[in-house]
Structure 1
């Protein structure tokens, strides 16, 4: 019997020029898209991968169909204190056959991300700042 295996790829942000900082404005204030120092999950990227692999469950209907989810990304804000909020999931367009299963999968991802422990916040000029973070997620059915 095939079991779903969740592999997470954490891609570091690539800066095209050192020292560049990008900023956006939200209802709650400034949110950086490219801070000088990125936020960090407690224990680093390996701990983040373990946490998500243990927490996110692929619905059985997706694994039975051996459905290729395609690229899935979680986008969220890590505030200046390290809390995660405003989680959004992006995927490829869904057909009606898999829409319900994918919605359940996306809700699993959102719940896992919202329950994360506090992160070490990003920094600009040595000050803690809110950062918009994108986390690519790769799902491999095994």
Structure 2
């Protein structure tokens, strides 16, 4: 260790400062890369987000929760609209927007129903949870089809 002869204090070498500076810089860069990765929103993933209970439970929820607005009933609106939202890492929904609206109070009703949904199971890619954009059709004035799920997940093959 080098000592300054006038003050009798140790002299910290330039190499020590350089090492500490590079370490702090690498930590900051690594943290920034993680934050950027978490903010990505995907549309095609290995495991799509899922409503609790599956697609059948989602259809049942929509049947019981969607209330046909009186203005739409009076105008005899019978169509579907599409709502887009992001399923977050904790299963909550954010960024709720109507893609193809119908008007007559249907857009507001669709957004109300999506906001009131229970938390979804988030999507995943390569074993880690990710944010996924989901587009959901909501029907007004028509019945939802009956959905029967015959298998759960993708088939696996040997080899």
The alpha carbon displacement at 1:106 in A equals 1.0
Are 1:90 and 2:99 counterparts? Answer: yes
- After superposition, the CA RMSD in angstroms is 2.1
Counterpart secondary structure, 2:106: helix
Of Structure 1 and Structure 2, the greater helix share is in: 2
Q: Is the 8 A contact 1:39 1:131 kept in 2?
A: yes
The alpha carbon displacement at 1:141 in A equals 4.6
Runs of 4+ deviating beyond 6 Å: none
Question: 1:105 aligns to what?
Answer: 106
For structure 2, the 5+ residue unaligned runs are 1-35, 144-159
Question: 2:140 aligns to what?
Answer: 139
Query: How does 1:1-142 map onto structure 2 within 5 Å?
Result: 29-69=39-79, 71-91=80-100, 99=103, 101=104, 104-141=105-142
TM-score, normalised with respect to structure 1: 0.67
1-side partners of 2:75 and 2:67: how far apart?
A: 15
Cα offsets for 1:51-90 (capped at 9, x unmatched): 1221111112211221244x41010000111111111112
Change in CA separation of 1:34 and 1:141 when aligned onto 2, cut-off 3 Å: closer
Instruction: Provide the aligned length of Structure 1 versus Structure 2.
Output: 107
Based on CA coordinates, which of the two structures has the bigger radius of gyration? 2
1-side partners of 2:140 and 2:68: how far apart?
A: 9
Of Structure 1 and Structure 2, the greater strand share is in: 1
